[in-house]
Structure 1
Amino acid sequence: MTEMFLSSSELVVLTGRKIKAKQIEALRRMGIAFFVNAAGRPVVARLVVEGGKQVPVRQAWQPRVLAT
């Protein structure tokens, strides 16, 4: 059975970064859906990368006053 989430080493290969803040930055630039766990590490579902079901990427919250 395959794991549900990418391993730490797979995240390093995917992002090209070892530091978790840099991994998060790279995932955002690539448009890959992820969440940050309690340890501050990015978590990516394997289905997102392997081309399975599409997961929508949430946009950052912005107050209506600043919306154009």
Structure 2
Amino acid sequence: MIGSMFLTPEEVGELTGIRVGRAGRTRDQLQVAWLRTSGIPFWTNARGRPIIARAAIEGQRSTEQPRQKWQPNFAVSG
């Protein structure tokens, strides 16, 4: 089902703890700011609402091993 691919607005509210706007900022603006500081990947739609892929929260459901980030080896002298 395509609707379950993304978190619902209610689920985004539960995740962020932000369900209403305040201090001159909309709910969506506050949620976007919280998601950015939390490092959760998301998109904003044309209305400014944060869209979060369910896979970003639940994790990838594959047997493929995650790729390790490249790190320099300072122990090797040149």
- Report how far residue 36 of structure 1 moved: 0.4
Superposition RMSD in Å: 1.8
Q: Which runs of no fewer than 5 residues in structure 1 stay unpaired?
A: 55-68
Give the corresponding residue for 1:31. 39
How many residues are paired up? 54
Aligned-partner residue type, residue 5 of structure 2: M
Shift >3 Å, 4+ stretches: none
Whole-angstrom CA distance in 1 between matches of 2:39 and 2:60? 15
Give the corresponding residue for 1:8. 9
Larger radius of gyration: 2
Taking only the aligned residue pairs, the percentage that are identical comes to 43
Does 2:44 correspond to 1:46? no
TM-score normalised to the size of structure 1?
Answer: 0.72
Provide Cα deviations, 1:18-60, integer angstroms capped at 9, x if missing partner. Answer: 2000000110011000010011100000000001178xxxxxx
Q: Which runs of no fewer than 5 residues in structure 2 stay unpaired?
A: 20-26, 67-78
TM-score normalised to the size of structure 2?
Answer: 0.63
Whole-angstrom CA distance in 1 between matches of 2:52 and 2:38? 12
